[in-house]
Structure 1
Amino acid sequence: MIFFAILLGLFFSYFRIYLYFFPRKRLTILMYHKVEKEGDTELTVSAENLEKQFKYIKEKAYRSVFFKEIHSEFRKKIIITFDDGYYNNYEFLPSLLQKYDLKATIFISTSFIENGYDENKMMGFEDLKKLSSNFFEIALHSHSHQNFRTLSNSEIENDLKLNMQILESHQIQYSKVLAYPYGKYPKNGAEQEKLFHTLKKLGIDFAVRIGNKINYFPNAKPYELCRIDIKGEDSLQRFKLKLILGKLKLF
């Protein structure tokens, strides 16, 4: 009996189930990338499945917010994020967000906007400016989209400064929130401390990794907020479970 109680306690702790009973302290952040008419790959969700997910979010009374509204006292806050700045976001998201009265934050890597990204069609700066501020928030994804674990602290600082300067030069309003490229940042204590000091110096309020966990908010780690990775092959049932549990596997 005691062993079962311990296992149950570990389950509740690992998946942060306890936050389900404290909706004002619960912050869910979803991570998407591409949207296509048809798609079920790791980074590409179909427009049909995305609409089903948005419809479910709305039906379950989640309150969609921007990062600049993160301190609001809404119950069941959810932040919907998209990485990189793909043109298909511009094609599919405005109508879906408006239909379900939701908001999305797009993390922009400015080198992708300037120079393209492999064979992907990316948004341009004029496209970014056309996104309605009622439904879209622009945020930072670095300039060059390099793994922060491979860069020195000064290289990271210069890259982020360039990310912000380019957005400002094109008169694009953005929130000082960072999504780490590839979700990676230094794990070494000293290097991590230097990075967080740099982020604070640059005025960056929050940074997001992956982690696949529901966040307790407010918390003492604003530069380690977790996102839940929504994959193109996720069924609606799997999506629903991710909204409750975040990570679906123990290992």
Structure 2
Amino acid sequence: MILYLISVLLVAFIIVYFRLYLFVFPHNRLVILMYHQIQKESHEDLTVSLKNLEQQFSYLNRKKYTPQFFSELTVSTKKNIIITFDDGYRNNLEYLPSLLKKYNLKATIFIPTGFIENGYKNYPMMTFDEIRSLDRNYFEIALHTHAHDSLKTMPSDLIEKDLEKNMQILDAQNIPYSKVLAYPYGKYPNKEKEKSAFFSILKKIGIDFAVRIGNRINYYPTQHPYELCRVDIKGKDSIIKFKLKLIFGRLKLF
């Protein structure tokens, strides 16, 4: 009897922890994938190989996932998925357009305008002209701050100025964007008082959604629009691991 109760409790915990109950409500299940760079070959966590990415996109297409932009989230469909890329690397421009068209998918690119203006390390970045030229049928541009500094301990006034600068530069460059923010490094204030003040800033400047990492599947519509979770797709993830992440989000209990 005790073993039976333990088994029942364990199953219940797994269902809740991994949000597997969302399979019962497929219209409310929202998967958001997080990528960074693409290269022909990769041995780094933040860079996916072209072969792996094509396998993943092909799987999403075959399984009839519904690609969404954040601006389309009022539409209720089954197997909702948002594909996101951070930072605006030039290899995104090199590889993504043809893959998105081939597999009938869409991608949101989060742009830190400081990286586009000043570069980032030795990585080739897209230019504003190239960002502006992206086909809006397949690409959505969104916000990733200007300076790409962690927002976790930044003073409120500096956060507001940085985010406004992010938007002002995109406006000046005549680049349409959605008011969706990806937190640099996935970090934002987590103490209740500071978090509440931070979310008030986001609301004040008109941010609709914000994404962290979290590695969990989202329930949508959400009561927490500034804490949507993304599933981090690593460069070395096999197609089996990718499929599991689409189901569970995180693959570890702790």
Matches within 5 A, 1:197-236: 197-236=200-239
Q: Give the alignment of 1:59-208 within 5 angstroms.
A: 59-208=62-211
Structure 1: gaps of 5 or more residues: none
SS state of the match for residue 76, structure 2? coil
Task: After TM superposition, give the deviation of residue 21 of structure 1 in Å.
Answer: 2.1
The match for 1:56 among 59, 63, 71 is: 59
TM-score, normalised by the number of residues in structure 2: 0.98
What is the one-letter code of the residue matched to 1:217?
Answer: Y
Shift of 1:146: 0.3
Which one is further off, 16-25 or 241-250? 16-25
- Mapped to 1, the partners of 2:43 and 2:135 lie a distance apart of 28
Report the identity percentage. Answer: 58
Q: Is the 8 A contact 1:109 1:144 kept in 2?
A: yes
Three-state SS of the structure 2 residue aligned to 1:150 is coil
Q: Distance in 2 between matches of 1:163 and 1:28?
A: 26
Separation of aligned partners in 2, 1:111 and 1:14: 37
Contact 1:141 1:178 in 2 (8 A): yes
RMSD, aligned CA: 0.6
Determine whether 1:246 maps to 2:239.
no
CA contact 1:137–1:174 (8 Å) conserved in 2: yes
Q: Which ranges of structure 2 fall in alignment gaps of 5 or more residues?
A: none
> How many residue pairs end up in the alignment?
251
* 1: CA distance, partners of 2:193 / 2:134: 39
Q: Using the TM superposition, give the Cα deviation of residue 27 of structure 1 relative to its aligned residue in structure 2, in angstroms.
A: 0.3
Post-superposition Cα deviations, 1:190-220, rounded to whole Å, max 9, x if no partner, equal 1100110110111100000000000001111
Task: Output the amino acid matched with 1:229.
Answer: D
The separation in 1 between residues aligned to 2:43 and 2:171, in whole angstroms, is 35
Q: Which piece of structure 1 moves more, 97-106 or 15-24?
A: 15-24
Shift in Å, 1:2 = 1.2
Deviations 1:61-104 (A, max 9, x none): 11001000012111110000000000000000000000001000
Instruction: Give the distance between the partners of 1:129 and 1:105, measured in 2 at CA.
Output: 13
Secondary structure of 2:141's aligned partner: strand
TM-score by length of 1: 0.99
Among 29, 36, 39, the alignment partner of 1:36 is: 39
Alpha-carbon distance, 1:40 to partner: 3.1
**Contact persistence 1:110–1:167 (CA under 8 A):** yes
Shift of 1:20: 1.7
Partner Cα separation in structure 2 for residue 148 and residue 170 of structure 1: 25
Deviation track 1:139-164 (CA, whole Å, cap 9, x = no partner) reads: 00000000001211111000000000
The amino acid of 2:144's aligned partner reads H
User: Could you report, residue by residue, the CA deviation over 1:5-57 in whole angstroms, capped at 9, with x for unpaired residues?
Assistant: 00000000000111122110100000000001111310000111100000000
Which one-letter code corresponds to 1:107 in the other structure?
Answer: F
Q: Encode CA deviations 1:121-146: one digit per residue, 9 max, x unaligned.
A: 00000000110000000000000000
